[in-house]
Amino acid sequence: MILLETKGLTRIYGGLRAVDDVDFSLARGEIHALIGPNGAGKSTFVGMVSGRIPASKGEVWFEGRNITSLPAHVRIKQGMAYTFQITAIYARLSLFDNVALALGSRDRPAVLEALARVGLADRAAQTAGDLAYGHQRLLEIAMGVAQAPQLLILDEPTQGLAESEIEGFNHLIRSLAGDTTILLIEHNMQVVMALADTITVLDTGKILSRGTPDEIRANSDVQNAYLGVG
């Protein structure tokens, strides 16, 4: 079943088409990675999907409904959660309070469960701004998880994580996949190949290719444009 679909989605800045007539679909329950070179339009695309950037043309459909005109906060209420490429935590508040704000409730078991999913339950009382950057990323994921979304959009989630933390992140995403659909924007190709059921490659605002990790790895156009071989 298709959870998310875009039809001719386009974003124009001046004369530049940052995203150009993109038809995209995301099946319920899958981990779908969106990859591409810097400037390919990935963050602009997910910004339009989440409602944070208005589309110049095209439509966004979610759970069979046209949500193109809905603002971001309404899309969140309908089951989307989006973590930013740059962390969007409340640095002066505790981890507990950050998750409680995302949840819209101070339900202690629910907040601690979300923190436990990312391995931060023992730091609930700590000030979020005192965390290492990689742990701030994990806190932001906990804030998304707490909302029990139908769709969790993760924009460069491993940025700032140490190599020793990557396997823990992969385990976390696999554990979340049973509860939510995940759209993953990620530069770390080892993470992408280890996690994704399906990969879509963007280049200059257009879809260059879509397929399984093995299909993408073997695609000569993708190799030339992005993977740096060929």
Contacts 24+ apart (CB under 8 A), 72-81: 75/50, 75/51, 76/147, 76/149, 78/150, 79/149, 79/150, 79/151, 80/49, 80/50, 80/51, 80/149, 80/150, 80/151, 80/153, 81/143, 81/144, 81/145, 81/147, 81/149, 81/151, 81/152, 81/153
pLDDT of residue 83: 79
Q: For 122, which DSSP code?
A: G
pTM, 2 dp: 0.89
The structural domains of the chain, with segments of one domain joined by +, span: 30-54+68-227
- The two tokens of residue 65 are 């409904």
Give the Cα separation of 106 and 2 in Å (integer): 33
Please state which architecture CATH assigns to domain 30-54+68-227.
3-Layer(aba) Sandwich (3.40)
pLDDT of residue 87: 61
Show pLDDT as tens, one digit a residue, over the chain (230 residues). 899 999 999 999 988 999 999 999 999 999 999 999 888 999 999 999 999 999 999 999 999 999 999 999 999 889 999 876 556 789 999 999 999 998 888 899 999 999 999 999 999 999 999 998 888 888 999 998 898 899 999 988 888 788 888 988 899 999 988 789 999 999 899 999 999 999 999 999 999 999 999 999 888 888 776 655 43
pLDDT of residue 229: 44
In angstroms, how far is the first alpha carbon of the chain from the final one?
A: 36
